[in-house]
Structure 1
Amino acid sequence: MVLVLLLSPSTYRGAARTRLAHHMVRATLPVLPGFTALAALVSLSITRIVVVTAQSYGLSRYALEMVVRVLVLELIPLTAALFVALRCSIPQGLELARLRAAGHLDRLRRQGADPVRMELLPRVLAGAYAGITLAALSCVVALAMAYLGVYGASLAGLPGYTRMFGQVFTPAFTLVFVLKTLFSSLAVALIPTASALHPGPGMTELGGLARMFALLLLIELVSLMGNYYG
């Protein structure tokens, strides 16, 4: 139901658009500086470790390509999704569970409003937007840090770097990367929050987290198969 509403034009009209924008800003803005700084630090550290290790084995020519493949294509989308789940989606799921326990969702139903559209949908869209935004920005930061880690502040390596970038990001790899980022962001945005709408004895939230991690693992496996076995 949420995925259908995400594709419905009526979701983005009138007062609903203002509510969605508010949730998107609230979910993304607080975590953006910290995650960007963390991505820059981790990218620079991993780049340095890989380059030094490759030099010791005489494989320097492959070091930068390996950094881009592993860091940008594999680690960044997964890390961004998990970061959004911990800092955004899971807290919003708990907030939604408290609203349900307080009877807020039942009051909306009695007033003729749809709790899914009013409370769940904005949180899901905000989580997905945060995941995609963090992944896109951190990929740019990681690419910049990888270049600085290998070539420093000089522009001499830019032609070779752009050529290597084009060889790595083929249309097939780019499509897999975009789909992986999109589905990972939707998974971490939808599952923890939607689980809060289903009252159950004891372990509903834990079950939702288990489903989320299982789906992320499946997305990662499918993306690896698409990249390296296609």
Structure 2
Amino acid sequence: MLSADTWVRLAGRAGRAPFGWVAGWGRLVWLGAVLIVLALSPSSWRPRARSALAHHVYTDTAPVLPGFTALSALLTLVITRIVVVTAQSYGLSQYALEMVVRVLVLELIPLGAALVVALRCTIPNGAAMATMRQAGHFDRLRAHGVEPLTQEAVPRLVAGVFSTITLAALSSFVGTVLAYLAVYGLTEAGLPAYSRMFGRVFDGTVSLIFVLKTLAFSLAVSVIPIASGLRDKEVKGSRESAALQGLVRMFAVLLVLEAVSLVGNYY
């Protein structure tokens, strides 16, 4: 049987939990805004920072690009074949390619690119930020007159955005071409119908939503893990704790963004 004091303490903790959750998100949003402003500021891009940016852009993009593009191509061929055969059996073959383009290019490829970059690059980068801050690396940089956010955090953030957009753009192009080849083969006969279908899918509103969603995905998977790793009071313990906190918050934001884009595209 719990005592009255125990019940009071539990009630106090339950009452403080929502305020702590809101405060944590507020600090995360503030720090993310600071990082974005620094990334957009020309004064942040001195030669040393540009060198760090080039390094992180290469290491966050080049190793991932071939594998993700190949996986997207394989997924495109498999899904296209399944959808086309299924649509033909129901007499709906005229809608097969439109369904493939909508599912793959509009939804799966941008989300897949964001998740791959997050798991491969930005979440480890966020954990590295927490480790460097706890080890005193940021203090040593300040002692030498170097701003640690500009030198360490901003290049990683920009590299994550660049990697996500590059993977999504290239894989969408490859998927679009392979979907056509899977249905029509190496012929120009299907280009007029395919172009009309593609223009019908990617009208002005859908194209704008696609661009904004891809940009929002890239910012979410880049800003949230790094900002989580930089919050020294709330990121306690090991690199794994920083990575876990960034992962949970990032997935929540991605889910909201995907839901908003679905509403914009289909309602």
Check whether TM > 0.5: yes
User: CA 1:13–1:160 in structure 2 vs 1: closer, same or farther (change >3 Å)?
Assistant: farther
- What is the aligned length? 229
Q: Which AA in structure 1 matches 2:130? A: A
Deviation at 1:152, TM superposition (A): 1.4
Q: Which runs of 5+ in 2 are unaligned?
A: 1-33
Which whole-Å CA distance do the structure 1 matches of 2:49 and 2:150 have between them? 9
The answer as to whether partners of 1:24 and 1:127 remain within 8 angstroms in 2 is yes
Matched, 1:188 2:221: yes
| Equivalences for residues 29-40 of structure 1 within 5 A | 29-40=62-73
Deviation at 1:178, TM superposition (A): 0.3
| Equivalences for residues 148-227 of structure 1 within 5 A | 148-199=181-232, 200-202=235-237, 203-227=241-265
Cα RMSD for the two superposed structures: 1.4
The higher radius of gyration belongs to 2
**Runs in 1 of length 4+ with deviation above 4 angstroms?**
none
Q: Which AA in structure 2 matches 1:121? A: V
TM-score (norm 2): 0.82
| Equivalences for residues 72-221 of structure 1 within 5 A | 72-199=105-232, 200-202=235-237, 203-221=241-259
TM-score (norm 1): 0.95
Give the stretch that moved more between structures: 118-127 or 87-96.
87-96
Q: Which AA in structure 1 matches 2:178? A: M
Look up the match of 2:41. Answer: 8
Matched, 1:28 2:66: no
The answer as to whether partners of 2:113 and 2:167 remain within 8 angstroms in 1 is yes
The answer as to whether partners of 2:209 and 2:264 remain within 8 angstroms in 1 is yes
Give the stretch that moved more between structures: 130-139 or 93-102.
93-102
State, as a whole percentage, how many aligned pairs show the same letter: 63
Look up the match of 2:8. Answer: none
Q: Which AA in structure 1 matches 2:112? A: T
The answer as to whether partners of 2:127 and 2:242 remain within 8 angstroms in 1 is no
